[in-house]
Amino acid sequence: MRRFVLRRAAYAALSLFLLSITIFLFVRVTGDPTVLLVEPGASQADLDALRTELGLDRSLFVQYGTFVRDLVRGDFGRSFYYRTPVLELYVSRLPNSLLLAAAAMVFSLLIGIPSGIMAAVRVGGWWDRGGKIFALLGLSMPSFWVGLLLILFFSVYLGWLPSSGSGTALHVLMPAFALGWYFAAAHMRLARSSMLEVLGSEYVKLARLKGLPEVRVIAKHAFKNALIPVLTLAGINLVLMVNVAVVVETVFAWPGIGRLLYEGIAFRDFPVVQATVLLGGSMIVVVNLVIDLLYAVIDPRIRYER
Amino acid sequence: MSASPASPSATTGTPTVFRLPRIRTEGLPLVPIAILVVLVFLAIFAEWIAPYNPEIGSLSQRFKPPAWAPGGSTEYLLGTDHIGRDVLSRLIFGARVSMMVGFTAVVIAGVLGSTLGILSGYLGGWVDQAIMRVTDTWLALPALTFAIFLAAIVGPSEWNIVIILGAVYWTRYARVIRGEVLSLKERDFVRLAIVAGCSKWTIMRRHLLPNVANTAIVLATLMLGVVIVSEAALSFLGVGVPPPKPAWGLMLADGKKGLMAGYWWLTVFPGVCIVLMVLAANLLGDWLRVKLDPQLRQL
């Protein structure tokens, strides 16, 4: 197990390396990076200065070295719009994003897993049918549209909740609901289908034949294995949550990372866009590592090592 | 709803505490097929069906409510937007954009991802290492963020969006299907196939592919929805389909400008279209899953 942990950690490091290379190459292969990295309306002298600084006349290896050196120093460049280091901006927005994602994730798991399991245990029952409609609606309604409808109803017509901004608990409600809505449905759907698959398997039949009480069969034998795909999805969903948050945060003017990214696009502030992608990616590499480790703990059948 | 049938056999089943899932005997899911057929029809014949040019409006006709609302007229059935363009016409042309982007991107992502997932899971070794490291890295780039990043570099256009979305989403298939294959390849039928002398290629094609098809289709179902929503989100943010074109996501972005003033039709109708299309795809996929899943069929 220790070797396994070390190995996965090494993979994560490799992923970070590949991540930086991917970003680095995409920016350079698709054209002249100075066009992206220099402020709109900059003079020829500025362009030349940046070209020298990036070392575009030198080999890609040297350029990549410079790129990584700056990253390791925490130098992600300066925002054109805010005139401050991008990293500072990012760190100042992070707590807001985490708060929103945490609220949305708690909401989605609390609804998704129990309702999915219950739907699988009583297939075709009223819970299953109701859950199915909920899941379908959840998967089909884009979170930002849900957000817009929430604003239309609770802010414009009823005037109960603030339509945008942050600060109070009331401000979190609508964005968290809009963001978690989709994931609640996704978690429920997968929890149900994976539970069904597990319940049809031989070892569950054996547990039943042994005469174990049904509650125990489900809670002990089936539940753990049914959780695996849900956990995988939840890991992937952390990736997705950052994504969807871009749009939800834009809708509600929630001052998180997503909003920062949106401003980066809107103001053609490329250093901000690049840093958001890089830092977001790095965070998810770490999450993937944790998921992989949990995977191995839960299901010994998955033999990564012989 | 066609997806939640009351199975007649379930009520007369064996008197065990737990009932196993039964075969669903429903026929074709008519509602989602009808929705998709209508949308495809609208997408193909948009020029003949739409009452107005979707990209040109007249400012004197701006913010007209739908025909049945107070102040609306039958001239503009679903109202007009902030520069007086007919909402209905834009919705009809928008179907074309969503169809084109959604289907193409899902096919690109699905073929690429499933192939790489099976290869990776079954062959193992350095093939697995190479594919999974790339997958991990690309997955680590949050999909929409990655798409935004790419769009920011290459510039937004309809075809760029298709390629960007296909390139971004194949990793989902690869990772999940590899996981499935890892578990499947330890099962007896694969071991028997090896003993029987099947080549690796045959095992992957004949024994593994049918067994992951279920997962691939459920994924494709989720993916079609995700891709259509992603396109809408990119357009909503202004890095998707470029502005004068009628895309549903773009319409929602325009609609937000009139949201606080209570111009609800600009927010409600494009969203309803997105939901209908994604809902139809999900319902159809759900039905296909039941039809294609050998495990469910045998029970």
Report ipTM for this prediction.
0.72
Per-residue pLDDT tens over the stretch A81-124 = 777 888 888 888 888 888 888 888 888 888 888 888 888 888 77
Q: Enter the DSSP assignment of B205.
A: I
For A90-159, what is the HEC assignment? Answer: HHHHHHHHHHHHHHHHHHHHHHHHHHHHHHHHCCCCHHHHHHHHHHHHHHHCCHHHHHHHHHHHHHHHCC
Distance from CA of A91 to the nearest CA of B (A): 18
Measured between its terminal Cα atoms, the distance across chain B in Å is 23
Q: What is the pLDDT of residue B9?
A: 43
Chain B residues with CB-CB distance to A303 below 8 A: 186
d(CA B53, CA B49): 11
Residue A54's pLDDT is: 65
Task: Name the helix (H) or strand (E) containing B157.
Answer: none
Best residue in B12, B17, B20, B136 to probe A by mutation, most A CBs within 10 Å?
B136
> Exposed e or buried b for every residue in A38-68, given b needs 16+ CB within 10 A?
beeeeeeeeeeebbeebeeeeeeeebbeebe
CA distance linking residue A278 with residue B140, whole number of Å: 9
> Of B4, B22, B274, which has the smallest distance from its Cβ to A145's Cβ?
B274
pLDDT tens by residue, A162-213: 777 776 777 877 888 888 887 888 888 888 888 888 888 888 888 888 888 8
Give the per-residue pLDDT at A227.
Answer: 80
Confidence label for A69 from pLDDT (cuts 50, 70 and 90): confident
Query: Which residues lie below 8 Å from residue B125, measured CB to CB, with a gap of 6+?
Result: none
What pLDDT does B297 receive? 42
Residue A236 has pLDDT above 70, yes or no: no
Distant-in-sequence, close-in-space partners of A156: CB < 8 Å, separation ≥ 6: A163, B259, B260, B262
Q: What is the pLDDT of residue A268?
A: 72
- Amino acid B299: pLDDT: 35
> How far is residue A199's CA from residue A181's CA, in Å, rounded to a whole number?
27
Residue A181 has what pLDDT?
Answer: 83
| Pairwise CB contact (< 8 Å): A199 & B283 | no
- Read off the pTM: 0.75
Return the number of CB contacts < 8 Å for A and B. Answer: 191
Do the Cβ atoms of A251 and A178 come closer than 8 Å? yes
Residue B13's pLDDT is 46
pLDDT value of position A296: 73
Write down the pLDDT at residue B16. Answer: 46
Please report the pLDDT score of residue B86 as a whole number: 81
Find out whether A85 and A78 touch, Cβ atoms under 8 Å: yes
Q: Judge: B133–A240 Cβ closer than 8 Å, yes or no.
A: no
Letter string b/e over residues A95-128, b meaning 16 or more CB atoms within 10 A of that residue's CB: ebbebbbebbbebbbebbbebbbbbbbebbeeeb
Å between A143 CA and nearest CA of chain B: 9
Residue A304: pLDDT band by 50, 70, 90 thresholds? low
Mean pLDDT by 10 residues, chain B (299 residues): 43 47 59 86 83 75 74 73 80 87 88 88 85 79 80 81 87 85 84 82 81 77 81 85 84 82 83 88 76 50
For residue B267, give the chain A residue with the closest CA.
A148
Restricting to A residues 203-242, those with a Cβ less than 8 Å away from any Cβ of B are 208, 214, 229, 232, 236, 239-240, 242
pLDDT at B20: 46
**Contact call for residues B22 and B7 (beta carbons, < 8 A):** yes
Structure tokens belonging to residue B94: 């928008």
pLDDT at A305 over 60: no
Residue B1 has what pLDDT?
A: 38
B140–A19 C-beta distance less than 8 A? yes
Please report the pLDDT score of residue A239 as a whole number. 64
Maximum mean pLDDT: which of A42-46, A247-251, B75-79, B193-197: A247-251
- The residue of chain B with its CA nearest to that of A228 is B179
**Is the pLDDT reported for residue A51 higher than 80?**
no
Report the gap between the CA of A45 and the closest CA in chain B (Å). 23
In chain A, which residues have their Cβ closer than 8 Å to the Cβ of B250?
A: none
